[in-house]
Structure formats: structure tokens, C-alpha cells
Amino acid sequence: MNLSVFASELAVMHDKTAWLFKKGKVPSDYIGDTYHWTPAGTVPCSVQPVSDKTTEEVYGPRVEHMVQLHAAPDAPIADGMGAALSADATEPEYKVISVKHRQTHTYVLLEVIGNGSQSGGT
């Protein structure tokens, strides 16, 4: 049974846009390398709180700082990438913890980076 025909119907539910970031390595003037985030495009999606029992059991109290993204089945998202839900973001607000590609959609588990306050105290 080919469920991919329903992907276009599910796309109507994508009411947000996620800005994606990749982590790039930059040679350091000192010892080792440093890393910085570079933009990697956008993905239309819907964002929901994490509410399934399995995720709660696996991640425990971390679930309070997580959201789940639903995107198109061919969304170019991978583990370790960053994501932001505000258009003016220069760095990601969330880190991609898990990506599950299905026939009709992609589930992405995101966790807040740092303390969750990316606005610099304003």
C-alpha cells in the first residue's frame, strides 16, 4: 500500500517554517578546531509538544525542553543539525535529537539549546 499520495494532504497542516543550520568546522589559530552554525535552508512544518509515553520514558525530564516537528517525507533534516523557529535567528534555538522518515511525513525531535533563552535577556 503506497501512502505517499497522502503527503500532499498532510502538507496543508504545516503552519510554521523551521530554519535549519549545519555545524561547520573552522580551523583555529590555537590548538584544535572550532565550530560555527551555517544556514542550511528552510522546511515548512508543524510543531507540537512531545506527548508520547515512549519518548518520555527514554529522555525523562529532558522532555520538558523538547518539541516535535512534523515535516514533509523528503525533508532534508539530519541528526545533529540545528533549527530555529523565528525568522530572524542567526543561530539555532534547537538541536535535532532524532529524525524518523516515514512515507507520509518526517518526525523530528528537537531539544532546546542551552537554557532556552536565545534572545539575550530581552
Q: Where are the domains of the chain?
A: 4-112
10-residue stretch averages of pLDDT, the chain, 122 residues long: 56 79 84 85 91 88 91 90 90 93 89 65 38
Predicted pLDDT at 32: 78
Give the CATH fold of the 4-112 domain.
Answer: Thrombin, subunit H (2.40.10)
The pLDDT of residue 29 is: 78
User: How confident is the model at residue 83, as a pLDDT?
Assistant: 94
Q: What is the pTM of this model?
A: 0.76
State residue 77's pLDDT score: 93
Measuring CA to CA, how many Å separate 101 from each of 36, 42, 62, 87?
A: 27, 17, 23, 25
Of 93, 101, 113, 109, nearest to 55 by C-alpha is 109
C-beta pairs of 10-13 under 8 Å, 24+ apart in sequence: 10/70, 10/104, 10/105, 11/44, 11/72, 13/46, 13/70
Three cell numbers written together for 108: 523530528
